[in-house]
Amino acid sequence: MDFLFEDVWLPAEGDFVAEKLKGNKKLYNFYINNHYLDDDSKDEQKKKIGKTATFFNSSIEKIFKAFAEIDDDDFKLDLIDYYSNNNNIQEICTNPKLKILTYQDLEVEQKILAREIKSFYSKLYGKESPFNLKDFGSLKTKSLPSHYQEFFTHNTEGKCPFCGIKDLKGIHHTKKEAYDHYIPKGKFPFNSINFKNLAPMCNDCNSSYKGEDLVIGEISNRNKAFYPYKTSQPDIKDFQISLKLNNPDILEIQPDDIELEIKLNGFDEEIEAWKRVFEIDERYKALLCNKSEGIAWFNMVVDGYDNAVAQGYTGTKKDFLNMKLFDTNHTPLSGYGFIKNPFLEECESMGLF
Q: Write out pLDDT tens, residues 167-196.
A: 999 988 989 999 999 999 999 999 999 999
44 vs 30: which has the higher pLDDT: 30
Residue 250 in any domain: the answer is yes
**pLDDT, tens digit, for every residue of 278-292?**
999 999 999 999 999
Residue 281 in any domain: the answer is no
pLDDT at residue 35 in the model: 72
What's the burial of 155, exposed, middle or buried (CB within 10 Å: 0-12/13-18/19+)? middle
Residue 297 in any domain: the answer is yes
Amino acid code (one letter) for 301:
V
Task: Check pLDDT > 90 for residue 236.
Answer: no
Q: How far is CA 81 from CA 74, 86, 113, 130, in A?
A: 11, 8, 17, 26
Phi-psi region of 169 (alpha: psi -120 to 50; beta: other; left: phi over 0): beta
Q: What phi, psi does 197 have (nearest 5°)?
A: -105, 5
Mean pLDDT of 194-212: 95
User: pTM of the full predicted structure?
Assistant: 0.91
**pLDDT, tens digit, for every residue of 114-160?**
999 999 999 999 988 999 988 888 999 999 999 999 999 988 888 99
The domain of 308 spans 236-258+288-349
Say which DSSP state 226 is in.
Answer: -
Q: Which long-range contacts (CB under 8 A, 24 or more apart) does 97-106 make?
A: 100/188, 100/219, 101/188, 101/189, 101/190, 102/187, 102/188, 102/189, 102/219, 103/186, 103/187, 103/188, 103/189, 104/187, 106/189
Q: Give which of 101, 99, 120, 100 is closest to 110, Cα–Cα.
A: 101
pLDDT at residue 241 in the model: 96
* In 209-278, alpha helices (H): 268-278
Task: Check pLDDT > 90 for residue 45.
Answer: no
Residue 344 in any domain: the answer is yes
pLDDT at residue 233 in the model: 83
Secondary structure of residue 192 in the 3-state scheme: coil
| Size (the chain), residues | 353
Distance CA 108, CA 93 (A): 25
pLDDT at residue 88 in the model: 98
Residue 93 in any domain: the answer is no
Residue 314 in any domain: the answer is yes
